Amino acid sequence: MAQQDLYAVLGLTKTASEDEIKKAYRKLAKQYHPDLHPGDKEAEAKFKEINEAYEVLSDPQKKANYDQFGTADPMNGGAGGFNGFSGFSGGFNGSGFEFTGGFGGINDIFEEFFGGGASGSRGANGSTRGANISMAVEISFEEAAQGLTKEVEVERLVNCDTCKGTGAKPGTNVKTCKTCNGTGRVTTYQNTILGRIQTSKTCQVCGGDGNIIDTPCPTCHGKKLVKKRVKLDIKIPAGIDNNQTISLRGQGQPGSKGGPDGDLRILVRVRPHKLFRREGNDLFCDIPITFSQAAIGASIEVPTLFERVKFDLPEGTQSGTKFRLKGKGIKDVNGYGVGDLYITVNVEVPKHLNAKQKEALNKFAEECGEDTYEGRKNFFDTMKELFK
C-alpha cells in the first residue's frame, strides 16, 4: 500500500475531509464486501486494499505521516522516508519517531533547525496530540464468540470543573505571555557559515503554554486538567481472539492547544474453555467413546459452543479419528465467514472389570479372532516378514 495513492484507492483527492474519507470508505466497503461476492478473489483483494487505505487515512497521525512522507510509517521506506539517512537508527512508536545515533536524536536536530519534532505530533501552533491510554479486560470464551458491549472504567485527564480548564483561580484572568506573544515558542536567528539559520524553541517563560497564570486554580494548581474516573461502553466484536486489541479513537488523554485527543487501547483477554480449544476460527474438542460405540457405531451427542447436536458415529470407528462439523466454529472478527468444529473421538478402555465382565470379553475375543483386527494383523505380518 505504501507504493499506491491511498486517496485514489478511495476515489478521493488529497484535499478530502474526514467526513468525505469516511463516506467513501463506507460506500466502497459495502460494494466490495466478501459476503456479497463469495469466492470472488478480486473483490476480496479490493476490499482488503480499501481497508488498508482507510486505516491510514482515518488515523490523524498516520495520515499526517503519509501526506508528508508518502508512507504511514517512514521507517518502512517509501517516498520521502528516512531510510536513506546514514548515521541514524531507531524505530517508530505511537508518539512519533525515536532515533539515536552518532549525531544525537533526530528530534533534537529538527528542534534546533526547524522548530519542531520529526514526528509531526506538534502542530504549527504548538498543538500536540494527547497520549494513548492502555488497559485490559477479561471476557469468557462464549462472550468472545458472540461479541458484547462491556462497561469499563478508565482514569483519564479532564478539564478542571473549578476553573473550566483555564488553570486560573475563578475571578482572576489569564495573561498572554509577552515573551512569545502567546505562541508558546521563541524564534531566534543566527548567522553561520551555512547562512542565516532560524531556531525555534519552547518558550521558557510560559513553558510553551502561551499564557501566564498569576493566581493558579486551587483545585488543579494551574494545570487545567484533573484526573477523573469515567465509565465507557465498549463494543467487543464477535470472533475476537485472546490478546487482540481494540482501539477507541479520541478516548485517551486530551491533546494540548487544540491537538487531537489520544486513543484508548484495550487488550482483550479471553478465558479458556473447559471443552474447546481454538485455532484461528476453528474449534477442537476431544470426545471419549466406548468400545462398543466405536465397533458397531452409535448416535452420540456432540457439544458445539452454544448447543448439543446429534452425530452418527460410523461402524468400525478407530480411536483418534477426527470428524469435521462445518460452520460450527467461531465467526470471523472481520466478517469473513465462520470456522468449523473438529471433534476427535478416543476409545476409552474400561477399568476395574469384574469376573463376569472379563469372561464376556474373553468370549468376545475368541469369537472375533485375529482377522477382525486389520491393523493388528498387518502389523504382526510385517513384523514376521522383517524377522524371518
In a domain, 335, yes or no: yes
Please say which residue of 45, 80, 115 terminates a domain: 80
Give which of 74, 78, 30 is closest to 51, Cα–Cα. 30
CA dihedral of 177, 181, 184, 189, whole degrees rounded to 10: -130
Which whole number is the average pLDDT over 111-117?
A: 36
Strands 341-347 and 282-289: parallel
How confident is the model at residue 232, as a pLDDT?
92
Tens-place pLDDT, residues 159-169 = 999 999 889 99
Domain assignment present for 226 = no
Predicted pLDDT at 60: 82
Dihedral (CA of 249, 251, 253, 259) sign: positive
In a domain, 315, yes or no: yes
Domain contains 297: yes
Give the per-residue pLDDT at 2.
Answer: 42
- Between helices 60-69 and 41-57, what is the axis angle to 10°? 100
Residues 31, 35, 36, 42, Cα dihedral to 10°: 70
- Residue 34 domain-assigned? yes
CATH number of the structural domain spanning residue 329? 2.60.260.20
Of the residues 49, 80, 111, which one is the last residue of a structural domain?
A: 80
Q: Is the pLDDT of residue 99 over 70?
A: no
Q: Over the stretch 298-308, which tens digit does the pLDDT of each residue have?
A: 999 999 999 99
- List b or e across 122-147, with b for residues whose CB sees 16 or more CB atoms inside 10 angstroms: bbeebebbbbbbeeeeebebebbbbe
- What is the rounded distance in angstroms from the CA atom of residue 246 to the CA atom of residue 311? 38
pLDDT in tens, 224-278: 999 999 999 999 999 999 999 999 999 999 988 778 999 999 999 999 999 999 9
Q: Is residue 15 part of a domain?
A: yes
**Contact (Cβ atoms closer than 8 angstroms) between residue 313 and residue 300:** yes
Q: How many separate domains does the chain show? A: 2
Instruction: Tell me the mean pLDDT in the region 78-98.
Output: 34
Instruction: Check residue 73 and give its pLDDT.
Output: 58
Among the candidates 80, 105, 121, a domain finishes at: 80
Statement: the pTM of the whole predicted model exceeds 0.85 = no
Is residue 44 in a domain?
yes
Determine the average pLDDT of the residues in 177-206: 82
pLDDT at 294 over 70: yes
Domain span at residue 338 reads 282-386
Any idea what the CATH number is for the domain that residue 42 is in? Answer: 1.10.287.110
The model's pLDDT over 116-145, given as tens digits with 9 standing for 90+, comes to 333 335 555 567 888 999 999 999 999 999
Identify whether 182 is part of a domain: no
